[in-house]
A and B are shown apart, each in its own frame.
Chain A
Amino acid sequence: MAPNSSDERAVDAALIERWKAGDQAAATAIVERHATALARFAASTGERERIDELVQDTFVRAFNSIHSFRSDAALRTWLFTILKRLVLDRRRAERRQGVHVELEPTHAVQSYNALDSLVADETAQQVRNAVAALLPMQRDVFMLRVTDGMAYSEIATVVGSTEGACRVHYHNAMRAIKEWLSDDA
């Protein structure tokens, strides 16, 4: 479905081999290829603070155990899986400390207003509220599909589900967003 997924995989695999052989520039190339998508996904899950730290930790974890990474596997999928786990860990820690309040539309409105002056138009705001109102699993699947164009099989690996279930989550999310926007209008 995605045209270049095997090419992309091969590029990542080659970069990993270069890095293992001592080429530090290969690490820069790997980070440049994936950091933005990881950050966008973290932001879409409702993370608002220290997103750069989450992305940083994702790469550190990946590189620390890169010798165990199968060369035929997709680096991107693996990175997203690590990030997802880090986000969950952070939520758990925050909940223990009584810090985190589950993301609600009103919170999203405030935080994104503060964060984002570029995309301030009303429709974007409504869309963010609609996404924030999704169930966590729906939201993850939907955002991976929409912002990164991931195949359902890849999404399934990241969120720990099946391809078929992810397809259902995507369409349920789309329906919920449409309903949210219809009610809101």
Chain B
Amino acid sequence: MTMRDCPDGAIRDLLPLYVSGKLVATEQARVASHVATCMDCATEAELLRTVARAFPVPMLDVASIVAKLPTPRVVPIHRQPLWRVAASLALFIAGTATVLAVIGRQPDAAQVGLVQPVGTQTGAAPETTLAVATSTGGSPAANGALLSLGEELSDLTDAQLELLLGSLDGLDPRPQADPMTIATPIIQDRTQAPSRNNQ
């Protein structure tokens, strides 16, 4: 068996794509008409088809592959124990929290801040928590209402932060008698989000 190379290198370059049907229609037709009149290319194309057929694909169980994949990292806020929220709230109101960063829309509007709890008097874990506060420009400690997610910020996806900020925009910036009445709607909103399964 002797196989020669067609002098048209550009066409030869396209033969594997032609054989696997990966060319755009016009190119596919152009190569086909060449192959129809060129014995070298016809032979090479047939060889390529044989190569493609010669390696059988092992049976794969898609379901079992998917079963071993991690699940999306979506934070289940509704699973946060209430004591975490309460503890963060107490810390905030006591004014022992230090605001490290504030992503405020307007000075008087809702604010999102990184709150580093100080001390252990309330039993709160000494980890960074995401706090959401509303204020009217007075003492945030006096008017603040906040929601502790109790998760590292890195656990939040962009989509979740968007959602959180969206929820904040919907908040009434005026002080409320009971801060929890502000925080509660956010918690309820978040229960609609897909939850993270155990990994």
Instruction: List the interface of chain A (C-beta within 8 A of B).
Output: 1-3, 19-24, 27-28, 31-32, 35-36, 39-40, 43-44, 51-52, 55-56, 59-60, 63-64, 67, 115-116, 118-119, 123-125, 127-128, 131, 142-143, 145-149, 167, 170-171, 174-175, 177-178, 181-182, 184-185
B24 at interface (Cβ–Cβ under 8 A)? yes
- Given A59-B69, A175-B5, A182-B2, are A148 and B20 neighbors across the interface (CB < 8 Å)? yes
Contacts A39-B60, A43-B55, A185-B1 aside, 7 further interface pairs with beta carbons under 8 A come to A55-B65, A67-B157, A145-B16, A147-B51, A175-B5, A178-B3, A182-B2
Q: Which residue of A lies closest to B193 (CB)?
A: A22
Q: Which residues of A contact B59 (CB under 8 A)?
A: 52
Q: Which residues of A contact B44 (CB under 8 A)?
A: 174
Q: Which 4 A-B pairs have the closest CB atoms?
A: A22-B194, A149-B22, A185-B1, A149-B20
Main SS at interface, chain A: helix
How many Å lie between the Cα of A59 and that of B65 in the bound state? 8
Q: Which residues of B contact A40 (CB under 8 A)?
A: 55, 57
Q: Which residues of B contact A128 (CB under 8 A)?
A: 54-55
- Given A21-B194, A127-B47, are A3 and B65 neighbors across the interface (CB < 8 Å)? no
B86 at interface (Cβ–Cβ under 8 A)? no
User: In chain B, residues 1-29, which have Cβ atoms closer than 8 Å to a Cβ of chain A?
Assistant: 1-3, 5, 12-14, 16-17, 19-25, 27
Q: Which residue of B lies closest to A38 (CB)?
A: B60
- Given A43-B56, A119-B53, A185-B1, are A2 and B70 neighbors across the interface (CB < 8 Å)? no
How many Å lie between the Cα of A116 and that of B56 in the bound state? 7
Q: Which residues of B contact A35 (CB under 8 A)?
A: 60, 62, 65
B71 at interface (Cβ–Cβ under 8 A)? yes
> Is the pair B51, A131 in contact by a Cβ cutoff of 8 Å?
yes
Instruction: List the interface of chain B (C-beta within 8 A of A).
Output: 1-3, 5, 12-14, 16-17, 19-25, 27, 44, 47-48, 50-66, 68-74, 157, 159, 193-195
Main SS at interface, chain B: loop
How many Å lie between the Cα of A24 and that of B69 in the bound state? 10
5 A–B pairs (Cβ distance < 8 Å), ordered by A: A52-B60, A60-B69, A143-B55, A170-B13, A170-B16
How many Å lie between the Cα of A167 and that of B62 in the bound state? 33
Q: Which residues of B contact A56 (CB under 8 A)?
A: 64-65, 68
Q: Which residues of A contact B47 (CB under 8 A)?
A: 127, 177-178, 181
> Is the pair B3, A182 in contact by a Cβ cutoff of 8 Å?
yes
> Is the pair B70, A28 in contact by a Cβ cutoff of 8 Å?
no
Q: Which residue of B lies closest to A118 (CB)?
A: B56
Q: Which residue of B lies closest to A43 (CB)?
A: B55
> Is the pair B55, A28 in contact by a Cβ cutoff of 8 Å?
no
